[in-house]
Every structure is written in C-alpha cells, then in structure tokens.
Amino acid sequence: MAKNFSSREDNYSQWYNDIVIKADLAENSAVRGCMVIKPYGYAIWEKVQATLDKMFKETGHENAYFPIFIPKSFFNKEASHVEGFAKECAVVTHYRLKSSEDGKEIIVDEDAKLEEELIVRPTSETIIWDTYKRWIQSYRDLPVKINQWANVVRWEMRTRLFLRTTEFLWQEGHTAHETKEEAIAETEQMLEVYSNFAENFMAIPVLKGTKSPNERFAGAVETYCIEALMQDGKALQAGTSHFLGQNFAKAFDVKYLSKENKLDYVWATSWGVSTRLMGALIMSHSDDKGLVLPPKLAPIQVIIVPIYKTKEQLDQITEKVLKIKKAMEDKGISVKYDDRDTQKPGWKFNEYEFKGVPIRLAIGPRDMENGTIELARRDTLEKEIYQIADIENKVKNLLEKIQSNLYERALSFREEKTFYIDTWDEFKERVEKGGFIYAHWDGTSETEQKIKDETKATIRTIPLEGKKEEGKCIYSGKPSSQRVVFAKAY
C-alpha cells in the first residue's frame, strides 16, 4: 500500500502529480512553470531519446544544433507563424547586469540594451530556414534532413509537470526537398516513425490522422498527428509532423536550381515530439499504486531484493544473485540488485512498485533452500514462485509479455472509450464522460469553433485509417464525407 497516494477516481490530476513527484521523475523548480527533471525521470527520457534517435538515423536524418536565440525580425517573415507564437515568447532585451546605486542588489544595466531583441526559441523553423538559405542552391544539395535535440520555451499561462512546462525538451526535425511529393512522403514517414515508437515502445495505441485547419501548426499547409487517449478519457496529442509547403522557403527565400535549370522554392517539413511524451507514458499505464513502465523504456527492468537475517545469509544470497544478474544482463536485460541494509524489504517492494519497475525478484533463506525465487509483475501485481534454473529466459519472455500486455490493455481501454455518435444531444452528453467520439463534421472552421465553445471538445484528428462513410454534420446537418474524432484534450 502506497502511503499518501491519491487514486485516479478520487482526484485524477492529483494522482498524476503524486506519481510524478513520488516516483522521483520531476519536481517544480524555483522558476515558475519550469521543472527539474530528476535522474529517474531523465533516465526514461534518455531511453526515449536513444530509441527515437536511432529511428531518425535509420530514416536518413542527421543531428545538428542551432542557437537558442532567434532575432526578433525572423518572426516577421512568416505571417501565420508569428501569429501562432507571438503571445508566448520570452524575449531577451539586455545583455548585462550591474550593482544598484546602494549596492544592495543586482539590476539590469539599461546601457546594455540590445539593438535587436532576441527571442528564446519556441520552435526553430525560422533560424533553421535562415540557415538553409545558405546551404541550398542546387538540386544536388537536396534533400536536407536534419534533426535537433533541444530545449524550447513557450510562456504558457498554466503549466503541469511534463504535460505543459514553460521550458521543455524535445526534438525537432526540419527537412527540405525538391518536390511536394517528396516532402509529403517525408511528413508521412515521420508520422509512421512516431506511431511505431508510441505503439511498440511506449505501448500506447495512437490514432493517426491530420489536423483540422483550426488545430494546424502555425505556418503549416498540413499537420499530421498521433493522438492518444488517457485514462481520464481526455485526448493527448503525442506527436506532430507538418507539411510546410513552400511557406518557409518563400519567407526565407530558399530557392534551388533544378536539373532543368529552373529556379524554384524548396518544399519543407518539420516534426517533433517532446517531454510531454513522459506525461502520456505516465497516464497511459499507471495505477493507484504508482507508475507502471513498459519494459522497453524502463531504466530498471528487473529489481532484485534480498531477504535475510544474518550477514552469512546475505553473503550466500548475494553470491547467487550476482550469477542470476549476470545471466540476465547477458540477455540484454537491465537489472539492479538492491542490497542496501538501510531499508527493509517491504520498504523496497513499495519503492520499486511506485517507481514502475516491471519485474521484481525477491530471494530469501527459504528460496536458497528450495532453489526458487519469488517474481512479482508490476503490470498485473501477480506474484509467483519460480525455479531459479533458467530464470533469465523466463524473465526475458515475461518482459516481452508485459510489454504487449500493457499495449493490449491500453488498446482495449481505448476501444471501450470510442463511440460513434450521430445526434447532437448524445454528443454533448458523451463529451462530458470522455473518450474518442467519431462524428460527422461539415468541414468548416465555424462549426468546429461552435462545437468547441459549446462542449470544449475539439477535433483531435481527421483519421487516415478506417472506412470513409458519408453522413450529416452532427452540428449543422450539412453533408460530411467522413467521420472525424472529437474529444476534450490536454
């Protein structure tokens, strides 16, 4: 039993916060809206990074790094882009401090005012496209396929650990192509990478689709996204991939000369996922006993806890455990042996339980006599006694099973919470209860806005998959060519 732990039913957001804090993932910092990511939380993020980074490189991308500061004037160049971000930018105006007259405090030196203010990047399209202008002259320079791992700042009104912080970590891919078709193919490919990562590593089923114009990225021609459903029935945008058309090439004058000696603007994409994925991960699988991690992203996959009375018993157990640990590590499993004498076994059980470690092995004098070991699964909370012989293979198989079980569990949850709704009254009622709602929409921004105003539900995505049946808009009754997915969102 975890102490001081809120339940999901009791208070969902409190439950979420408790997990982040008590599982030692992150905490609030001295700076409003900015978090400290603690070692255990950061270790998960590093796994996310390592996995995605490999996928990006396998699809032909290279990493690079661009400045955190962007000259203010760059934001003027793409009209809808500036409109989208202007209201949440941190601005650097000075470059020096000095002591106040009375010498008691440090103040901004007004003499050190910047000629042109610098914007702390909310996203890097502008500085990157300004750079691409110098990199690209010919079709021989294309495509350019760059990814950057970085921090960005968006001055949001209200923040929540991992889900929305003023500063957050992410990756942003920025590519330049000869043709529209190639750029769209890139956008779609990266959407596939994201959904593959979400489903196969995070064990989170996602809907793939495009955004309505209202929800589209500022400056994009088309925004693709993956949407996940959280346990409280709210949707979470887990990743986006944008087809930017020639908007940024035109804004930053990036042209190339084709084989046919024709000058044309290049075609662009950008795509990103952030530390928000950590929020999705936490909310998708965790329970009232704490965090539950999918084995593929768990910093510790197996924790081993010794149970003993005497030093001699501990020594014997340790000798045995080190062999088991080595055998498991040889199978690529990450194992921690917690032989600290400062905490009792029960304390450790609880500790690793709310930190979401997928498998716990406990071994004591009884096991030493019988050649057994106790194994506890975090996902189902089942405990079972196993023979020690060949335990490494049993554990390996079980880790795979836990990984797929978490996915299946999240998938059936989503299916239970997916509804096809055809009347406005039913729609309003359903929105309140949460879940994905497939409903017809007349395709206009006005209707989408009215639905949002009346119910707080937004179009999460226009799904790429599934049958395209015609119908009548749930709100206006006008004709619709396919159902779109509505939900309240984070």
Q: Interface with RNA by CB under 7 A: which residues?
A: 1-3, 5, 13, 22, 28, 32, 87-88, 154, 156-158, 163-166, 168, 217, 237, 240, 274-276, 289, 307-309, 341, 344-347, 349-351, 353-354, 360, 362-368, 374, 376, 381, 383, 456, 490
Burial class (CB in 10 A: 0-12, 13-18, 19+), 60: exposed
270/245 Cα distance (integer angstroms) = 10
3-state secondary structure of 373: strand
Burial class (CB in 10 A: 0-12, 13-18, 19+), 342: exposed
Provide, rounded to whole angstroms, the least separation between the CB of residue 270 and RNA: 12
Provide, rounded to whole angstroms, the least separation between the CB of residue 262 and RNA: 35
267/247 Cα distance (integer angstroms) = 8
**Nearest CB to RNA, comparing residues 144 and 268:** 268
Residue 224 vs residues 185, 192, 233, 460: alpha-carbon distances, Å = 12, 10, 22, 11
Residue 185 vs residues 174, 190, 219, 244: alpha-carbon distances, Å = 14, 9, 19, 12
Closest CA to 485 of 468, 455, 462: 462
**Nearest CB to RNA, comparing residues 394 and 472:** 394
**DSSP 8-state symbol, 424:** H
**Nearest CB to RNA, comparing residues 144 and 291:** 291
**Nearest CB to RNA, comparing residues 16 and 267:** 16
Q: Which residues pair with 175 in a beta bridge?
A: 145, 269
**Nearest CB to RNA, comparing residues 253 and 446:** 446
Residues contacting residue 77 through CB under 8 Å, at least 6 positions apart: 126, 251, 252
**Nearest CB to RNA, comparing residues 143 and 245:** 245
**DSSP 8-state symbol, 488:** -
3-state secondary structure of 330: helix
Provide, rounded to whole angstroms, the least separation between the CB of residue 350 and RNA: 4
434/243 Cα distance (integer angstroms) = 30
Q: Which residues pair with 432 in a beta bridge?
A: none
User: Tokens for 54?
Assistant: 């490999």
Provide, rounded to whole angstroms, the least separation between the CB of residue 281 and RNA: 14
Provide, rounded to whole angstroms, the least separation between the CB of residue 376 and RNA: 5
**Nearest CB to RNA, comparing residues 45 and 256:** 45
**Nearest CB to RNA, comparing residues 2 and 327:** 2
**Nearest CB to RNA, comparing residues 403 and 461:** 461
Provide, rounded to whole angstroms, the least separation between the CB of residue 133 and RNA: 26
3-state secondary structure of 95: coil
Provide, rounded to whole angstroms, the least separation between the CB of residue 379 and RNA: 13
17/23 Cα distance (integer angstroms) = 10
Provide, rounded to whole angstroms, the least separation between the CB of residue 69 and RNA: 18
Provide, rounded to whole angstroms, the least separation between the CB of residue 56 and RNA: 18
